[in-house]
Amino acid sequence: MMIRKCTVLCAAIMAATISLNAQEVNDFTGTWAAAAEWTGKGDMPRMSLSETTLREIIQVSIGGEELQLQLSNEFSKEPVEIKSIYVADALDSCDIDRKTVKELKFGGQKSVTIAPGETAMSDVFAYKLKPRQRLAVTICYGSVPVNMTSHRGSRTTSFIAKGLVAPKKKFVTAEKVDHWYSIAQLNVRTGGSVKAVAVLGNSITDGRGSTTNLQNRWPDMMAAKLDCGVLNLGIGGNCVVRGGLSEPAMKRFDRDILGQKGVEALIIFQGTNDIGTSPHAENTAKELKEAYKTLIKKAHEAGIKKVYGATITAFKGNGWYSPYHEAARQDVNEWIRNSGAFDGVIDFDKLTRDSSDPEKLKKELSEDWLHLNPEGYRVMGEYAAETINNKQ
């Protein structure tokens, strides 16, 4: 009888623990994220990051007072040694507001070594994070991998100083790079009251054509109009099915989308690279439709309530245009609009195309007939926000 009582008690304790852990997970929502990538030599700094201090700037979407930061070493073959890390409100250039500095811990320790292929989530820390503010994340490295895990298309300048720069010491920049290294997610405790929209995309979502350090990608413009987290998981040159730069969406989806906190809605805006680089565009169009179905199903099964399909924008005038590729784009877009597979449609194609030549972008919205410019991204972001607000 005593053994049975102990078994029942242990089971109850385990169930309560699981419930508490699930509640803690549900308490957090992403306010910023970047898709992790393998870093080739051309995207590494000229100087080694070993025994240096890296200051990276991010712009968040929602605010909060309890945060957690995830670091990634997923694409590296060697461990990354972090001796300390702290956050602070960002000022101009590499400067920070020292009154706001908060040092992070991992399992109660200031230092953390992340094994190859792994991530590390910081302990929850108190910080008065304001909506849409710029935050500086400062990492003091020990030894680092030959190829770091990074996000190449930061559109934001990071600053490197020699040696380990403590929070109260002057930061002297030795090199600047427009990439992010190691940082992957920033989450805030919302108690489940505020959710996030994640965006799966390529260079148009990643911000090619936007203004470095001005945070004017279309997801940034969308975030300015929404009262929720906005997570930009775009990668320049990325494909959905195969090829392209970094892992295709079908492979990275579980990590980059399902691995985010508090996501209630997803926008899939990807496919132009698959079509534009394909020697058999008609077959690629069929593959894209099947891939979209798979991603929608996975998202719904993971608890994401709404999956929006964004139509592929025009690319006539760009080097990879041909009547065959255009036919494939039109085919995919008609399927996005009319198949009913998506919970909603964001018709970027209709929004941005030239009424006198619908196969081209409006001249005032693009410089290269493929990517949008800051004005184009403003129009897209505000339109996407309006569409999502009308669907709520």
Tell me what the pLDDT averaged over the chain comes to.
93
Sign of the four-CA dihedral 291, 297, 299, 302: negative
| 143 CB-near residues (< 8 Å, 6+ apart) | 50, 51, 78, 79, 80, 81
Averaged over 261-287, what is the pLDDT? 96
pLDDT over 70 percentage in the chain: 93
Q: Is the pLDDT assigned to residue 275 strictly greater than 60?
A: yes
Model confidence pLDDT, tens digit, residues 87-118: 999 999 999 999 999 999 999 999 999 999 99
CA distance 248 to 202: 10
Model confidence pLDDT, tens digit, residues 82-94: 999 999 999 999 9
Q: Is the pLDDT assigned to residue 226 strictly greater than 90?
A: yes
Q: Is the pLDDT assigned to residue 24 strictly greater than 70?
A: no
Model confidence pLDDT, tens digit, residues 355-364: 999 999 999 9
| 138 CB-near residues (< 8 Å, 6+ apart) | 53, 54, 55, 56, 85, 86, 87, 88, 96, 165, 167, 171
Res 2: pLDDT: 40
Cβ-contact 253, 295 below 8 angstroms? yes
Averaged over 257-281, what is the pLDDT? 97
Averaged over 222-243, what is the pLDDT? 97
Q: Is the pLDDT assigned to residue 36 strictly greater than 70?
A: yes
Sign of the four-CA dihedral 114, 119, 124, 128: positive
Model confidence pLDDT, tens digit, residues 308-329: 999 999 999 998 899 999 999 9
Q: Is the pLDDT assigned to residue 8 strictly greater than 70?
A: no
Averaged over 27-41, what is the pLDDT? 97
Model confidence pLDDT, tens digit, residues 191-204: 988 999 999 999 99
